[in-house]
Amino acid sequence: DLHFSVFPWAEQKVVFITARVHPGETPSSFVCQGIIDFLVSHHPIAKVLRDHLVFKIAPMLNPDGVYLGNYRCSLMGFDLNRHWANPSPWAHPTLHGVKELIIDMYNNPKINLEFYIDIHAHSTMMNGFMYGNIFEDEERFQRQAVFPKLLCQNAEDFSYSSTSFNRDAVKAGTGRRFLGGLLNDTSSCYTLEVSFYSYLLGGAAAAVPYTEEAYMKLGRNVARTFLDYYRLNSLVEGPLAPTPKTR
Active site residues: 193
With a CB cutoff of 8 Å and minimum separation 6, the contacts of 169 are none
Count Cβ atoms below 10 Å from residue 236 Cβ, excluding itself: 18
Spatial strand order of the sheet with 128-133 comes to: 54-58, 12-19, 111-122, 188-195, 128-133, 164-166
Structural contact between residues 133 and 201, judged by C-beta atoms closer than 8 angstroms:
no
Element (H, E) at 58: strand 54-58
Contact assessment for residue 17 and residue 49, using Cβ atoms and an 8 Å cutoff: no
